[in-house]
Amino acid sequence: MFLIPILADEVKDIPKINEWIQNLNRMSFSDKKVNIDDIEFQCSFGYFVPKSHNSEDKFLDIFEMTSNMPFEERFNYELSKVRVNIGLKWGKFVISDRLPKGVIPTSVFNLVKELTKVKMTLEFESHGKEDIKNTIPEIDTTLVDVEILNNVASKEIQKDFDIDDILDKISKDGITSLSDEEKEFLDNKSKE
């Protein structure tokens, strides 16, 4: 789950928000009308994933399907799984509820777009499909720290290697049989 603040402009056209404000004005004990600009909004969102009895097979099927999607198709797929909860705070009054499927504030939309780029970039390290990688737009560095992404990606690559397997490979086929990633892994291990 991700929790982010939301500006009033992003939610002013959502019927549920307008209904809440009308109810606040009916309940208000003062003559002052509740104004949307006097309200704090936050939302949380996550990705809905259908339950499956055989989750490993389901996960592999989904990975196979999504790793073959170009960016726009993948982004739309990711958006279809997003579920948003919105929270309103006015003074000491707080209320929250889930927004209808497909109602996504701009901040969440933009964040999901960047998260999709990050997911696809990291997945490229596993599947290496250049034609898919070439569809990924540049990551917005105001929302995503690319340095952290690069660190995570390099650690993920290293997790896939087992030092004993690499040493067996060298013993059997020689050091020239190693990939650049395996050589980098060994180099990093020797520095530790």
The pLDDT tens digits of the residues spanning 41-79 come to 999 998 887 666 666 777 778 888 888 999 999 999 999
Taking 70 as the threshold, does the pLDDT of residue 98 lie above it? Answer: yes
pLDDT confidence of residue 85: 95
Residue 166 to residue 49: CA distance in whole angstroms:
37
Q: Check residues 166 and 115 and name the one with the higher pLDDT.
A: 115
Burial class (CB in 10 A: 0-12, 13-18, 19+), 70: middle
Residue 3 to residue 111: CA distance in whole angstroms:
11
Exposed e or buried b for every residue in 1-37, given b needs 16+ CB within 10 A? eeeeebeeebbeebebbeebbeebeeeeeeeeebebe
The C-alpha R_g of the chain, in whole angstroms, comes to 23
pLDDT confidence of residue 167: 75
* Percent residues over pLDDT 90 in the chain: 36
Mean pLDDT across the chain: 83
* Amino acid found at 121: T
Residue among 89, 69, 90 nearest 78 (CA):
69
Exposed e or buried b for every residue in 137-173, given b needs 16+ CB within 10 A? eebeeeebeeeebeeeeeeebeeebeeeebeeeeeee
Taking 60 as the threshold, does the pLDDT of residue 23 lie above it? Answer: yes
| Residue 97 DSSP code | E
Question: What's the residue count for the chain?
Answer: 192
